[in-house]
Amino acid sequence: MDLVPARSTAPAKRPRGRPRKTVDERDDGNRRRALIVGAAKLFRRKGFAATSTRDIAAAAGMQSGSPFYHFKSKQALLFAVMEEGMRSALERQARVLESSGAAEPAQALRVLVRNHFEVLLGAGSDFIPVMLYEARSITPRQRTSLAALQGAYEAPWVPVLEALHAAGRLKAEVKLARLLIFGALNWSAQWFDSRKGASLDELTAAAMGLFIGETA
């Protein structure tokens, strides 16, 4: 009889379920997010063409080639900035509308305008200016995809504007009013400076006075 048992030659059983992720794999989502946030800031400040992948990697604390592990190209990262920004804005607007309980059209418009200023000017708001000024740098197919998200974002505004128009409080035709309202609101991303004293609530009050003559 052997004193040392023979080593089994049978293959080791694999653990059930999905294999555990490595530390790097678990961090992929965070790194991807860091790239998108860093790229959005750089694209807004320097422009898409003037921003290098080295700049983006440095902003995210990565090596120069690391962005290509997450995105095929700088252009793909640009589209991700725009797409994820719009999806985040859609989710935020849905939450705000659900929690506000605004039933009266003027009140609902105030909620929508105030939230849009937060999307435009609040934390993580770099994607809107990037969308406005770098659309030429993405493909027609990508522009079509973003247009669908933009349409979904603007859809809740339409019945509110229609109700205000029917009540005589919105004088312009609804389609043109919607375009003009978004044009006016979005332009604030170019000139607004919180250090000069105006708050987002004050901007909202001014916008409501401009759009439907509501002073309170």
16-36 tens-digit pLDDT: 544 444 334 435 657 888 899
Number of Cβ within a 10 Å radius of residue 18: 6
At 32 the pLDDT is 85
- Contact in structure between 120 and 188 (CB atoms under 8 Å): yes
> What CA–CA distance (Å, rounded) separates 190 from 185?
10
At 88 the pLDDT is 93
Domains and CATH numbers, the chain: 74-212 (1.10.357.10)
How much is the pTM? 0.81
